[in-house]
């Protein structure tokens, strides 16, 4: 009890006055009390940054700059729930950083102000000035479809073979989008219950375009994607729906893990 802020709570300005928790107590559920107080929980803010480097020498320099930031976020930024670096399988010079924060202010006010981030950003700026990298970022809001982290444990040891799939989708109409999202909701529940090595299966909504979404998927191994997930009947049925209502071909990117960073939520 008291006016202490609980580190496990994703709500903005939560003082946890209505729950008997202490800072960092993962066993409490201050959000439920926060909602009882009539305050709205902010949506998790997701940022996906794509970096296209000119060669792998520059990539290695970036990895050296990224590593300490990821370690710092993991240990010192509880509001940074995911900080994961992945590498495009067909072009190892293309990397993506998937970042998730309990809310947008956690990104703007906490993460961006840290010395570790500023040091990495300075390194990237020098690379940009030297035309060694092109950077593009897109932000997303959470939806209630799917999950970012699965409760069950994968059936394979270690996570050094994790494969990430990123599907960028633009819909023709709101009605078509609603139909596709309904199908994806059912599919994500099927995946959660039946595909133990599907680590992440989450629908994210673009902050800029209401008809644009991102599906973020992670699998313990490539075989869990290509043989189990892609061959399931629910996936095939949902895929047909998406093909009929999307504005253009779905942009699919397949990425390998760099073993740098983490996914917690």
pLDDT digits (tens, 9 = 90+) for 118-145: 999 999 999 999 999 999 999 999 999 9
Say how far residue 50 (Cα) sits from the centre of its chain: 13
CATH architecture of 142-256: 2-Layer Sandwich (3.30)
pLDDT at 14: 43
Q: Do domains 45-138 and 142-256 have the same CATH topology?
A: yes
35 vs 58: CA distance, rounded Å: 47
Backbone phi, psi, residue 21, to 5°: -115, 165
Is residue 181 within 8 A of residue 137, CB to CB? The reply is no
pLDDT at 234: 96
pLDDT at 41: 54
**pTM above the 0.85 mark?**
no
Average pLDDT of span 27-35? 45
Asked: is 45-138 a CATH 2.60.120.10 domain? The reply is no
244 vs 234: CA distance, rounded Å: 16
What is the residue extent of each domain of the chain?
Answer: 1-28, 45-138, 142-256
Average pLDDT of span 224-233? 96
211 vs 179: CA distance, rounded Å: 12
pLDDT digits (tens, 9 = 90+) for 40-68: 456 899 999 999 999 999 999 999 999 99
pLDDT averaged over every residue in the chain: 87
């Amino acid at each position: 009890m008291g006016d202490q802020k609980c580190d496990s709570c994703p709500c903005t300005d939560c003082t946890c006055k209505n729950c008997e928790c202490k800072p960092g107590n993962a066993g409490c559920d201050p959000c439920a009390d926060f909602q009882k107080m009539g305050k709205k929980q902010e949506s998790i803010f997701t940022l996906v940054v794509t970096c296209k480097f000119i060669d792998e020498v520059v990539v290695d320099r970036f990895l050296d700059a990224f590593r300490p930031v990821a370690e710092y976020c993991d240990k010192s930024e509880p509001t940074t729930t995911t900080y994961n670096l992945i590498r495009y399988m067909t072009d190892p010079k293309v990397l993506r950083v998937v970042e998730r924060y309990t809310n947008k202010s956690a990104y703007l006010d906490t993460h961006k102000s840290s010395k570790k981030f500023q040091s990495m950003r300075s390194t990237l700026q020098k690379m940009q000035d030297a035309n060694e990298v092109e950077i593009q970022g897109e932000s997303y809001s959470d939806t209630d479809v799917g999950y970012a982290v699965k409760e069950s444990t994968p059936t394979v040891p270690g996570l050094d073979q994790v494969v990430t799939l990123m599907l960028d989708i633009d819909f023709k109409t709101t009605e078509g989008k609603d139909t596709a999202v309904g199908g994806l909701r059912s599919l994500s529940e099927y995946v959660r219950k039946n595909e133990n090595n599907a680590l992440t299966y989450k629908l994210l909504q673009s902050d800029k375009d209401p008809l644009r979404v991102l599906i973020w998927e992670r699998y313990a191994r490539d075989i869990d994607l290509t043989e189990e997930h892609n061959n399931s009947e629910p996936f095939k049925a949902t895929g047909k729906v998406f093909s009929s209502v999307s504005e253009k071909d779905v942009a699919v990117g397949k990425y390998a893990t760099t073993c740098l960073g983490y996914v917690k939520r």
